Amino acid sequence: MNFRAIKAIYYFEMARTARTLMQSILAPVISTSLYFVVFGAAIGSRITTMEGVDYGSFIVPGLIMLTLLMQSVMNASFGIYFPKFTGTIYELLSAPISFVEIVIGYVGAAATKSIILGLIILLTSYLFVPVRIAHPFWMVTFLVLTAVTFSLLGFIIGIWADGFEKLQIVPLLIITPLTFLGGAFYSVNVLPPFWQAVTFFNPIVYLISGFRWSFYEVSDVSVAISLGMTLAFLFACIAIIWWIFRTGYRLKN
Amino acid sequence: MQDIIQISGLSKTYATGFTALKNVNLGIRRGEIFALLGPNGAGKTTLIGIVCGTVNASTGTVTVDGHDNVTDFRAARELIGLVPQELTTDAFESVWATVSFSRGLFGKPKNPAYIEKILKDLSLWDKKDNKIMTLSGGMKRRVLIAKALSHEPRILFLDEPTAGVDVELRKDMWQVVRDLRASGVTIILTTHYIEEAEDMADRIGVISKGEIILVEEKKELMRKLGKKELALQLQQKLTALPPLLADNKQLALSADGSELIYTYDTQAERTGITRLLAALNEAGIRFRDLSTKQSSLEDIFVGLVHQDRNGAAK
């Protein structure tokens, strides 16, 4: 294992984040504040509670997940797409490193950034609503697992994409709808039975449900299933990346 | 001594069906400067790509200092520095950061003094804190070379390093290459400035349509394939070759009729010079001066590739 290479990639990516610090942090904080104003204050004042939790507080885990998923996918996909676009990927391919180092470096940096953002949003939410974290350990576990899993997904998208358009399509057309329909702003139980059944095909339901449980001990599905689904998704992404590097798909040739 | 790079039975067919390399066998000797010449699309960059790891081979093997470049790729790649043909650089990073990044990527501990030396050798020191995007094309080329040298490689690949580069940089660069060679680094370069290959290389390989059609010591190659021209400047212009010499296919009259040009093969048993001079004397043609000229590597190269294209290789 070439640890210096991992360090080099990680710091290189974090430096890229640092250069765009304002837009990276300010944008999510502003949009989260707007969510609190719209959903928490305006609409939330008429809903009062969801599953016995104050509505404003209820949406906090969902909002964190929303940003975490989007940022993980976008950071990681852009991180690996950019060297492909500029051609500097030749250096990664000719260096004495395997896909393990490349993935740890890029995915590690992308996940770090989105975790930091997730925590910033958590802190921001304290300004608007009371937040209680019942199981801090599981909260952090879900946070980290989700950030890593979706950074891996982003990495795959970055390798698959052969234009900036494709880079935008997946987060915009798939991740955002799945998150909104994944119970970020409501409990799945409030849906009619048919839509509840449909919802359970959405992997993001399990992430949000597990994450919300670590806050308020209310969940749409059991925590064990949430954790299992997250891990299954994680390993699926790892398997795909292993295949990509073994075959050189969209990297060599 | 064992070759530092051994390429055996290497073929590459791209997904599009295009065959870039056909059963290439090539050995690169330790410490030499090897120039790989070939027309555009001959397979030079593909060959370099496979050795360096940016392209997967279809069949065949490459060993680098005894390490298979697939099964033992870490040991193989550690030895190699690659300067790609395209100016592919980061945009927003500083020169210093990008060169240091390369060193880290190759698993070498930090060594600011060494990076400083490379940047100074390549006249990049005063640009070290500049963003790469603000540099000129020639400066970016230097950055790529600095990145390739950052991990102290034992083998350096230069893919068309002087394409679109000004005279001053070319001089600087060749000085760096000479210094590297003096320190024992093996250098493989492709170039279309044939005078550079002629000037720098120890051995020359010619590749055409994915096949290595010739590998030879440069001196041997020049000697073997070298044609010479004898130019005779006439005292009086001629309108046509005299009847006595008209059937001599090696002889030609210059357009303005002031010069006779005789082309001969230095390796031939008889060059025919004596016979020519005697015949000229007999025809009463007098000349003021004469000169001979060795054909350049470029002439040899063009001749070879042309021959190969006409299906009469080797």
A5 close contact with B: CB closer than 8 A: yes
The minimum CA-CA distance between B189 and chain A, rounded to whole Å, is 17
Candidates B52, B77, B88; nearest CB to A88: B88
| pLDDT mean over A160-185 | 86
Contact B34, B189 (CB under 8 A): yes
If you measure CA to CA, which chain B residue comes closest to A90? Answer: B54
| pLDDT mean over A114-136 | 91
Candidates A19, A86, A96; nearest CB to B73: A96
DSSP 8-class letter at A249: T
Least confident of A18-32, A234-248, B41-55, B290-304: B290-304
Instruction: Please give the pLDDT value at position B110.
Output: 94
Residues of chain A with Cβ-Cβ distance to B82 below 8 Å are 90-91, 94
Q: In 3-state terms, what secondary structure has residue A194?
A: helix
Contact A120, A31 (CB under 8 A): no
Interface contact flag, A93 B92, Cβ < 8 Å: no
Most confident of A15-24, B50-59, B250-259: B50-59
Short-list B46, B58, B1, CA closest to B27: B1
Number of residues in chain A: 253
Query: Which of A4, A9, A93, A94 is best to mutate for the B interface (most B CBs within 10 A)?
Result: A94
Q: Kindly list the structural domains of chain B, giving each domain's residue range(s) and its CATH number in brackets, ordered by start.
A: 3-223 (3.40.50.300), 227-294 (3.30.70)
Determine what percent of chain A is predicted with pLDDT higher than 90: 49
A91 close contact with B: CB closer than 8 A: yes
Element (DSSP H or E) covering residue A53 = strand A53-54
Interface contact flag, A94 B107, Cβ < 8 Å: no
The pLDDT tens digits of the residues spanning B101-137 come to: 999 999 999 999 999 999 998 889 999 999 999 998 8
Instruction: Please give the pLDDT value at position B225.
Output: 66
Interface contact flag, B105 A90, Cβ < 8 Å: no
Residue B313, pLDDT > 60, answer no
Least confident of A130-134, A207-211, B79-83, B219-223: B219-223
The pLDDT tens digits of the residues spanning B228-264 come to: 888 889 888 888 888 878 778 788 888 888 888 888 8
Asked if the ipTM is above 0.90, the reply is no
Ordered DSSP codes for chain B: ---SEEEEEEEEE-TTS-EEEEEEEEEE-TT-EEEEE--TTSSHHHHHHHHHTSS--SEEEEEETTEETTTTHHHHHHTEEEE-SS----SSSBHHHHHHHHHHHTTPPP-HHHHHHHHHHTT-GGGTTSBGGGS-HHHHHHHHHHHHHTT--SEEEEESTTTT--HHHHHHHHHHHHHHHHTT-EEEEE-S-HHHHHHH-SEEEEEETTEEEEEEEHHHHHHHH-EEEEEEEESS--SS--TTTTT-TTEEE-TTSSEEEEEEETTSS---HHHHHHHHHHTT--EEEEEEEEPPHHHHHHHHHHHHHTT---
Instruction: Please give the pLDDT value at position B312.
Output: 44
The minimum CA-CA distance between A149 and chain B, rounded to whole Å, is 24
- Compare A26 and B314 and report the one with higher pLDDT: A26
Count chain A–chain B contacts defined by CB atoms under 8 A: 79
Instruction: Report the alpha-carbon distance of residue A114 to residue A14 in Å, rounded.
Output: 11
Residue B198, pLDDT > 60, answer yes
DSSP 8-class letter at A188: G
Interface contact flag, B97 A15, Cβ < 8 Å: yes
Radius of gyration, CA atoms only, chain A: 19
A17 close contact with B: CB closer than 8 A: no
Rounded mean pLDDT of chain B? 88
A27, β-bridge pairs: none
A6 close contact with B: CB closer than 8 A: no
Candidates A4, A15, A16; nearest CB to B104: A4
| pLDDT mean over B180-195 | 88
What confidence category does residue B301 fall into, taking pLDDT thresholds of 50, 70 and 90? confident
